[in-house]
Chain A
């Protein structure tokens, strides 16, 4: 039997006696493209934080790649799952695009030539050439999203989670971003998108999971 890449069984989480996640069950296969949609405050972001081990669940079981989440250190889960924040500014550490892209590789002891080659490849692939000389904080929202995505790709993750990546983007740019993600998915990287774009995502995601009151309901 095929083991799911991500599995959540009867997971519960609350803040100050208020249930945020209630008896949640979720299973995502390796290489699958899923979208999680739901109203504001239904627990979507909490779900991703539980999956990454940033928040600790109160009840239930969470496994990633057949290993319980508690057994991973944050940097280990970061190497497996790429996470793009709702506000990508929080994950920009360097003043230029090149420095930003090479940031993690520099600390992992990768040689300069390989770093340069990989950085150029990402700049080209995510159409960041025009923004090369712009300070990372002055990039447009779409460019920031693409840069964050590029940074994650350089980590060569097995799975990616994107928390509302299309906030502040117009319809055309939303489609461009989803096209990029579909391309990434075709290379075997699993994707989970937290979003409100239910209709647009029907075109790209293999499965849409609806969240309501801290529980999941599958749609298509």
Chain B
């Protein structure tokens, strides 16, 4: 069955909500609820969640590393892990780390939601919201090429290993050095692609300024309006609920973290 073609502005609204809550809130239970709600909305937009999970799995160790680093550099709170009197992991640090993880996941989810619309629709959506066309065009191109960039990073990583280098066995300093080598072909191909793209759009008469006409138009349908109203109610309800009950969940989470410690 073909999925309903949601107006991109509906997706922008959801993305704006989940990212705003993600950035402003430091309450972990609210961040979790926000991510969960984001997942439900993503399902409506036909986001291939399993595919994204598979991709995230590859960088999971990096995310866990970020949590630990965040935690190590936070000295406030009760220590959970202490070495020679030095606070390694504290309850506050761990909470900040988990919060950070949710924020990263929300960014990824937002990208996934926007990418379910085709570039032309996203562009039109941005323009209808009053964004200058040139800016909207650049932003939508950026989103469009993200998967290609991911693929190239993967190919380069494979190419390094095919030179017979065991990356896992390298010392940390050499691994960091390797990152510079990893990005060299990627930066090169990105520059080449942008140059070709610029030539291509110019040959098709693309220029800055002037009146633009469009063959395809987007229009908010009744279901889009309804969805927006539901989304506003869900987010307002969620924020209101966690403002009242948030302390209870926070204290529950704190006691859980202490139990682990």
Contact = CB atoms under 8 A, between A and B. Distances in A.
A155 B165 CA distance: 10
Contacts of B156: 90-91, 93
Contact of A103 (B152, B158, B163): B163
Given A89-B188, A107-B174, A77 B162 contact: yes
Interface stretch (A60-68, A78-86, A180-188, A211-219): A78-86
Given A52-B162, A75-B161, A77-B162, A107 B170 contact: yes
B107 interface: no
A95 B184 contact: yes
- By secondary structure, the B interface counts as helix
B166 interface: yes
Contact of B152 (A74, A78, A90, A94): A90
Interface residues of B, number: 22
B185 A93 contact: yes
Given A54-B158, A74-B158, A93 B182 contact: yes
A82 B161 CA distance: 11
B184 A92 contact: yes
Contacts of A95: 184
B166 A90 contact: no
Contacts of A155: 163-164
A90 B174 contact: no
B120 interface: no
A93 B188 contact: no
Contacts of A52: 162
B182 to A, nearest CB: 7
Contacts of B150: none
Given A103-B181, A137-B188, A90 B165 contact: no
B185 A90 contact: yes
Interface of B: 152, 155-156, 158-167, 170, 174, 178, 181-182, 184-185, 188-189
Interface of A: 52, 54, 73-79, 82-83, 85, 89-95, 103-104, 107-108, 137, 151, 155
3 closest residue pairs by CB, A with B = A79-B164, A78-B162, A104-B163
